[in-house]
Each structure stands twice: as C-alpha cells, then as structure tokens.
Amino acid sequence: MNAPAVQDMAYDNSAPVARMVAFVRVLRDNAFHIGIAEARDAVRILATPVARQPRHLREALKALCCTTHTDWQKFDRLFDAFFLDKGMKTAVRLVGVPEQNNRPRRHFGESGVTQKGSDPDSITRGNDDSGDNPADGLGRKMQASRNAATQTKDLRKIVDPDEIARAKALAERLAHAMRARLTRRMRARAKGQRLDLRRTIRASISQGGEPVNLLWRQRKPKPLRLVVLLDASGSMELYAPFFIRFMHGVVDCFREAEAFLFHTRLVHIAAALRDRNPTRAIERLGLMAQGMGGGTKIGGSLADFNLWHARRVVHSRTCVMIMSDGYDTGEAGVLGREMKRLRQRCKRIVWLNPMMGWDNYEPTARGMSEAMPFIDLFAPAHNLESLAALEPYLARI
C-alpha cells in the first residue's frame, strides 16, 4: 500500500472498503460470479495508484470481475450507476439500502472511491409494475418462493404466461451458474503434480544454487465440451421452448458448446443461439428449423450428425446431451447403430427424457430400447430442478 492511499483511507478507514464490498454485492446480484478471492483482490486495488482515477479503477475491476462476454457488456453500466450516478434508471437490480434524498454527491478522491456518503448504493430499476420491491425482505422471499416452485413444477403444466417467462429465464440462468461452478472446479489446483526440475534449478541461481522454492508442473486443465441435441418433434412440443432457453445459456456461457435440433432432419442452431437477444435467437430458430412439431427420426438425425458434424464438434472430452422422449419413427436398428458410433467417439452420453418424471414410466419405446446400452446417464428432464441435478455429474467428467 503506497503512502498517499494510506493517508486518504486513514481519514475514514471503513468508507472505501465498505463501498467496494457494496459494489461487489451489486455485481453478485446481477449474476456476476465473484468469489471471496475476487472480492479480496477488489479491496486490495483500493490501495494502489490505479484507484485514483475512475477510468483506471473501472478497467482494473472489469478485468478482475468479468468472466463472460455478458458480464463485460453489463459492467460499464453498473460501474457508472454505482460510482458516478449515471444511468441509474437502466440498471437491472436493486441492492443495499434505499437511496437517501439528502445523500452527498459522490466523488473520486485519491483512494478512488467515495469518502462521503459511504452507505451501500441503490441502483434503481425505474418504474416497475410487478409490485415486488426487491429491497423489501418480504418481496425477496416471495420471489424466491415463486422461483423454487417453478423449478420443481413439471414444465408441461406451466400455462400462466408470467410463469412461463420466469421458467425460461430460470433455465437460462441455470446454464450460467453451472458454467461458473464447473469452471472453478476444473481449475481448482493447490499445487502441481510433478516437480519441475529445470525451472527449480534456474530459479535457484539467484539464491546461490540452493533450491529454496520448489516449482511444480501440472497438467493443463482441459475444458468440458457440451454438445446438446434437442428433439423438437410434436411429442416434445411442451418442453422444447424451455430447453431452447437452457441451450441458449449453455452456448452463451460454455467456452466449447454446440447445439442441434432434430425432428425428421438435423439442424445446427449454435450460430442462432449465440445471438445476445434470446427473443431474436428464438425467432432465428423458427426460420431455420422448419418442421418443428412434426414427426421424429432420431436414428436418421444421429446418422447425419455422425456423418457431417461429429468429426468437427466431438472429441475425447465431449459430453453429448440428448433431450428426447425416445419415440423414433425411423427404421428399426438405425438408432442403435448410430448410438454405438457416437459412443466410440465421445467421453459420455447423457440422455434426458421428460417422461421419466411421469408416474410408472418405463423406457419400453423401441427408440429408447435401442439407445439404452450406450447411455452413460439416463435422467429425467421434466422440470428445471432435474436440469440443475446434472451439474455434479458434469463436474466429474
């Protein structure tokens, strides 16, 4: 910590740290995945010359806190609203305590954050007709209760338009959360696996040849690649819209992800799902996937996938996720043959069947019977909670 920063913070020692902690809370409430280590580093930035200018502080915190392209796009707006009182009407969440009318205007001092009015900031949503105030404890509990009920409810029984919109948003948010936690688990390494003798000896030269600090080598973590194939036939019509929003979040969040729709033919939809606007992405899908809601030929669609796409999108670290009820109207034997070819190429095959959530369901359909010998995980997908249950399995791949 340099001397000027110490002098500035000594006059009100808790104010800069309290405001930075409040800003971290703002980012977390806006779906930024920030852990204890990132929060600690953000506080440490206050003691550096970087914190003396708003633009320098912005770039430092942006590099520290943003892990996805979506985070990068949202950060400037949140930073301006919190520290500079700009764009307050367009921010997306309300955190901290309500804004006081007599609060002094904030300014950047030598330590880079406000020295006056250090209460947690209020980022307002503007006029909200929903009737729920997130700053109110009761409103937060009601919202959490509705979200929990939506996650456990069978997707085919969701008919209310507001509940449908909330379920679609939760499906996409679920993909974001899964990606963040899986990334942290794959990168969590306390030390290396083997001693790096060359680097250890080189580093010991400055210490008279004594290997005081041992340097280690570790295997570079390989990211998990997800390839999702969604059955868009008539029998899956009630579930497909929610799964599409989940797929949109997967393609947006996972560094390596591909998405396909199939019914009587196979359609590559990853390019459409990479559109930042979910509504516009679904509109593009409607133009691409003509024939949705009709029959289904799972075996023929997998044959097209193995022939035209598997070599490009599937490798030894790939998990292929098939979302289908298993009703195949194609030729007998084709699905089993193509599942065998796919199993030889990828790491895992996960089959999500919405009907597993139904009472007394048995996988007796011809398509499911042919596919079962090659499936590593056969799981339900009738609600959002069942999708969230996939995370521990994917973390072990």
* Domain containing residue 231: CATH number: 3.40.50.410
Task: Let me know the angle formed at the C-alpha of 96 by 92 and 98, rounded to the nearest 5 degrees.
Answer: 90
This model's pTM is above 0.75? no
In this predicted structure, what is the pLDDT of residue 321? Answer: 94
Pair 252, 205 in one domain: no
pLDDT of residue 125: 38
CA distances from 337 to 193, 261, 340, 359, 365 (A): 40, 20, 5, 30, 16
Considering the domain architecture, whether residues 119 and 210 belong to the same structural domain is answered as no
Verify that 202 and 241 share a domain, yes or no. no
Co-location of 95 and 205 in the same domain: no
Which structural domain, as residue segments, surrounds residue 210?
Answer: 192-217
**Residue 219 neighbours by CB distance under 10 Å:** 9
**Number of separate domains in the chain:** 3
The string of pLDDT tens digits covering residues 58-77 is 888 988 888 887 788 888 88
User: Is residue 163 assigned to a domain?
Assistant: no
For 123-152, how does the pLDDT look when each residue is reduced to its tens digit (9 = 90+)? 333 444 444 444 445 555 555 566 667 777
> Is residue 139 included in any domain, yes or no?
no
Has residue 154 been placed in a domain?
no
From 81, 99, 129, the end of a domain falls on 129
Q: Are residues 261 and 122 part of one domain?
A: no
Same domain, 114 and 30: yes
**235 and 346 part of one domain:** yes
> Could you tell me if residue 196 is inside a domain?
yes
Q: Examine residue 246 and state whether it is found in any structural domain, yes or no.
A: yes
Q: Do 115 and 250 share a structural domain?
A: no
Residue-level pLDDT at 381 = 86
Indicate whether 241 belongs to any domain.
yes
Residues 121 and 201 both lie in one domain = no
Q: Are residues 293 and 211 in the same domain?
A: no
The pLDDT confidence band at residue 307, using thresholds 50, 70 and 90, is: very high
Give domain status of residue 176, yes or no.
Answer: no
Residue 343 lies in a domain: yes
Last residue of a domain, one of 129, 152, 172: 129
Q: What is the CA radius of gyration of the chain?
A: 26
Which residue, 129, 151, 172, sits at the end of a domain?
A: 129
Residue 389: helix, strand or coil by DSSP?
Answer: coil
Instruction: Give the residue-averaged pLDDT of 354-361.
Output: 83
- Round the average pLDDT of the chain to a whole number and report it: 75
- Considering the domain architecture, whether residues 265 and 342 belong to the same structural domain is answered as yes
- Burial pattern 151-168, b for ≥16 Cβ within 10 A else e, equals bebebbebeeeeeeebbb
Are 371 and 229 members of one domain?
yes
